[in-house]
Amino acid sequence: MKVSSILATKGTDIISIRPEQQIREAIQLLTRHNIGALVVVDENGRLAGIISERDIIRKAAETEALFSLPISAVMTRHVITGMPQDDLMSVANTMTERRFRHLPITDGERLVGMISIGDVLKAQRDKFRGEIDTLETQLMADDE
């Protein structure tokens, strides 16, 4: 199974923020959409970084002026990205091993979505669940 199968049920809207916007706006977006991270895109729609709850909390421990800081002061710039054709299993391994929870997905230059470790684990669970459900449906059929 590939990353694209996760993106397929996520619409096409990517919740993003610009580097010059303020942390206050990031927090509003994160809560409104109930998500853990935002992609940061520049004026050309290109990926400039990622900002997560953790980045924000870490900064909050440093400074009281958190809310009005620009995103660019807090975001992570070196972002690991994935592609729609990436295999879910290897993505799951990479995310757990290297301890990051969000993976922006790009197709060439274009940002096409973001997946979280939660999405990946759910997809893996559903894959196993599906194999079990196939067997279970067969067993139920034998009872009929």
Residues 77-136 that bind other proteins (CB under 8 A): 80-87, 89-91, 93-95, 97, 103, 112, 126-127, 129-136
138 lies in the site for other proteins, by CB under 8 A = yes
User: CA 103 to CA 70: how far, in whole Å?
Assistant: 22
By beta-carbon proximity to other proteins, the closer residue of 31 and 90 is 90
Residues 59-88 that bind other proteins (CB under 8 A): 80-87
By DSSP bridging, strand 102-107 and strand 110-116 are antiparallel
Which position has the token pair 């709850």?
53
Question: What residues pair up with 56 in beta bridges, in sequence order?
Answer: none
Q: What are phi and psi of 61, to 5 degrees?
A: -70, -20
Minimum distance of other proteins from residue 61's CB (angstroms):
29
> Cβ distance 109 to 48 under 8 Å?
no
Residues in touch with other proteins (CB under 8 A) = 1-5, 7-13, 80-87, 89-91, 93-95, 97, 103, 112, 126-127, 129-138, 140-142, 144
